[in-house]
Amino acid sequence: MSDNPTPSRPAAVDAEGRNTAADMNTAPGKDTAPGTGTAPGTHTTAGKGAAPENAAAPESATAPDKGTEAPARRPRRRRPRFSVERGWFPPLGNKGRIALVASLLTGVLTHGYHLFRYPLYLTDEGIYMQRAWSLVRETSLSPYTYDYDHAPLGWITLAGWVFPLPKQFETFGNAINTGRFLMLLVHVVSVYLLFEVTRRLSGSVLAATVTSFLFNVSPLAVYFQRQVLLDNLMILWLLLSLFMLLRREVTIRSVFGGGLALGIALITKENAIFFVPSFMYLLYRRVKGSASSRFTSTLWPFAAIAPIGAYVTYALLKNELLPSGFDFDLNNPPADHVSLLYTLWWQLNRSQGTLFSHTGLLQTSWLVRDKFLLIAGVIAMVMCLWIGVRDRRRNLGFLIAGTLAFGYAFYLVRGSVVLDFYVTPLIPMFALNIGLIIDRLLKGSFASRFMRGAHSLTRVAVPSFVAVLLLVSPASGYLVHTNTEGVTQIADQYQSKINLTGMQHAQIAWVRKHVPPNSRIIMDDDLWGELHDVRPFYPYAHSHWNASSDPDVRDKLFKKRWQNVDYIIMSNKMRKSIMTNNSDGRENWILQALRNSSRVWSETQGNIKLEIYRVQ
């Protein structure tokens, strides 16, 4: 598909609508030879008193009479209107470049400041860095049995980032810090992609700026996008896929690149599948009616399926695609080998309580961190869907933005198991919907003749005023918040006095000073890299998850006897995790070891508590 084709230029006409003499003499017709103003086979002869062909015409001959009307002006070429479907959107311009640079710098500031101190190292961060460590050190997907709980491209990316660094996992202090620096780079690239995607869906730099602002400063975004999570890598690939599909021209390269990026997102984290319908519809609208529509419609799914095919082929070659005897009984997991399809079936059948209960994540975690983004995002999503469905031809951008947010919101509320950080991919989608709606409302407000004079200035001033309110209001928690003692202070993510990860560094320091390296340790995954990649090594330190489920650790090292445990290193909320994972009694022996132990170290900060127990 090409950009706006140049319209044919109409012939000049006189006042009565007839072609002018100049056009009649120069335009080739049925009885004239091309390139001449005469009929073929005739000769022009200078008549009596006629000037020679090359002679200059006298001045009086060229000057129009007073009564002669001048030829009509050549019509100006109309600029193409904005169209997502045809790839017509205004150029970025100087103001757009300034807004983009400001958005990128804001992202570096909000996500880079306090990066290695806040928030506390998370269990899942330790798991992903542990598996990246296994790839770099042992060339395997996991130091334990890989059970296909997640597709592996996320920690393959982490391993590819770590491998060329001068100190590898300790380049930025420890393994998780090294992963977090990559998350900062991922966020900055995601800001650029989100800015451009928003601009191309809306045709507005203002909408792109509002979207990037929310994506940068939302406490939800700062909290989760600093962490080493597969969701952040998935967002990057999803935005890249959208960016490729929203190029001015739909070429083979852009279609293949967009499909491949989506496939990579799917094998980074499977949740990306809930965005696929929106991508398919956008592709259909962009290639509809083009000469290559059939080819591009086939190329895109092929490129998207290729990475998934490689993942399935890996499982097939290891004889781990199907469970033994084709048995998918969830009450009797396969004992002889793990299975990709069995794990997918198990994940599809997991369930938990609703998000809307008073103990659900919506009330206890997400709304506490950012009420504005979630509430305004839901309202904006509904408005985008309404605007897009009413006129799908003209408002394709609204429809795509609304369906992207709706698809993932449906995944979160459908009733399956949802963890705290699963909200992360919803943040840029809600920010996108809010940006589009704010721009639409301001355009409607300034359409009146009375406001046209202040249009340009006010369209920037109104969102800026709202942004300042969000930043300075303690109720929003964006820059300042009210603590548990009722004191207004800088928000935790920017509070220089808060050093949550310092508690974990102190915990590790105590272990290295007082615990022998050959001790058998039960811990959480957040400390795994520190104890296995930094001398002295602790080869018998394992997480309670693997100690209770991996046969090599459970049956060979600990033999399911609490007497074989020397130390238990407790992370924040680890006791709750053990209880949650013990529905079938698999961690009873670990709980018994905890009951037969004494606390030898403890540190508390706010509602965060870390401990170390020596088993008697």
pLDDT at position 578 over 80: yes
348 CB burial (10 A radius; 0-12, 13-18, 19+) = exposed
* Amino acid in position 125: E
- Cα first-last separation, the chain: 74
Q: Which of 19-28, 208-217, 260-269, 454-463 has the lowest mean pLDDT?
A: 19-28
Listed as own residue / partner, the contacts of 347-351 with beta carbons closer than 8 Å and 24 or more positions apart are: 347/149, 347/270, 347/416, 348/416, 350/416, 350/417, 351/415, 351/416, 351/417
Within a 10 A sphere around the Cβ of 353, how many other Cβ atoms? 12
H/E segment holding residue 460: helix 455-472
536 CB burial (10 A radius; 0-12, 13-18, 19+) = exposed
The confidence score (pLDDT) of residue 65 equals 52
The confidence score (pLDDT) of residue 13 equals 41
The confidence score (pLDDT) of residue 408 equals 95
The confidence score (pLDDT) of residue 43 equals 43
Q: Which of 26-35, 213-222, 529-538 has the lowest mean pLDDT?
A: 26-35
Confidence tier at 472 by pLDDT (50, 70, 90): confident
pLDDT at position 604 over 80: yes
Within a 10 A sphere around the Cβ of 108, how many other Cβ atoms? 16
pLDDT at position 264 over 60: yes
% of the chain residues with pLDDT over 70: 84
Reported as a single tens digit per residue, the pLDDT across 285-295 is 999 888 888 89
The confidence score (pLDDT) of residue 599 equals 96
pLDDT at position 44 over 50: no
pLDDT at position 568 over 50: yes
* Amino acid in position 454: A
Q: Which two tokens stand for residue 451?
A: 């406001």
Three-class SS of 98-154: HHHHHHHHHHHHHHHCCCCCCCCCCHHHHHHHHHHHHHHHHCCCCCCCCCCCCCCHH
Confidence tier at 60 by pLDDT (50, 70, 90): very low
The confidence score (pLDDT) of residue 74 equals 57
Confidence tier at 564 by pLDDT (50, 70, 90): very high
Reported as a single tens digit per residue, the pLDDT across 6-34 is 344 344 444 333 444 444 444 434 444 43
Distance CA 78, CA 341 (A): 56
Cα–Cα separations (whole angstroms), residue 575 to 571, 601, 609 = 8, 16, 11
Which is more confidently placed, 2 or 467?
Answer: 467
Confidence tier at 94 by pLDDT (50, 70, 90): very high
Reported as a single tens digit per residue, the pLDDT across 343-385 is 888 888 877 667 777 788 888 899 999 999 999 999 999 999 9
Reported as a single tens digit per residue, the pLDDT across 420-455 is 999 999 999 999 999 999 999 888 765 555 455 555
CA dihedral 143, 145, 148, 153 (to 10 degrees): 20
pLDDT at position 206 over 60: yes
pLDDT at position 299 over 60: yes
Confidence tier at 325 by pLDDT (50, 70, 90): confident
Of the candidates 210, 201, 192, 212, the one whose C-alpha atom is nearest the C-alpha of residue 439 is: 210
Q: Which two tokens stand for residue 349?
A: 């059948």
The confidence score (pLDDT) of residue 75 equals 55
The confidence score (pLDDT) of residue 10 equals 42
The confidence score (pLDDT) of residue 335 equals 76
pLDDT at position 173 over 70: yes
Listed as own residue / partner, the contacts of 5-8 with beta carbons closer than 8 Å and 24 or more positions apart are: 6/77, 7/77, 7/78
Q: Which two tokens stand for residue 143?
A: 């130091």
Reported as a single tens digit per residue, the pLDDT across 494-529 is 988 889 999 999 999 999 999 999 999 999 999 999
The confidence score (pLDDT) of residue 457 equals 65
Distance CA 531, CA 526 (A): 10
The confidence score (pLDDT) of residue 118 equals 94
Distance CA 363, CA 357 (A): 7
Is residue 466 within 8 A of residue 434, CB to CB? The reply is: no
The confidence score (pLDDT) of residue 399 equals 96
H/E segment holding residue 408: helix 396-413
162 CB burial (10 A radius; 0-12, 13-18, 19+) = buried
pLDDT at position 110 over 60: yes
Cα–Cα separations (whole angstroms), residue 137 to 162, 163, 263, 459, 533 = 11, 10, 27, 54, 9
Distant-in-sequence, close-in-space partners of 271: CB < 8 Å, separation ≥ 6: 231, 234, 408, 411, 422, 425
The confidence score (pLDDT) of residue 373 equals 95
% of the chain residues with pLDDT over 90: 61
Q: Which of 96-105, 259-268, 333-342 has the lowest mean pLDDT?
A: 333-342
Distance CA 287, CA 407 (A): 23
Supply the mean pLDDT for the chain: 85
Q: Which two tokens stand for residue 95?
A: 């103001």
SS3 percent helix, strand, coil of the chain, rounded to 5, is 55, 5, 40
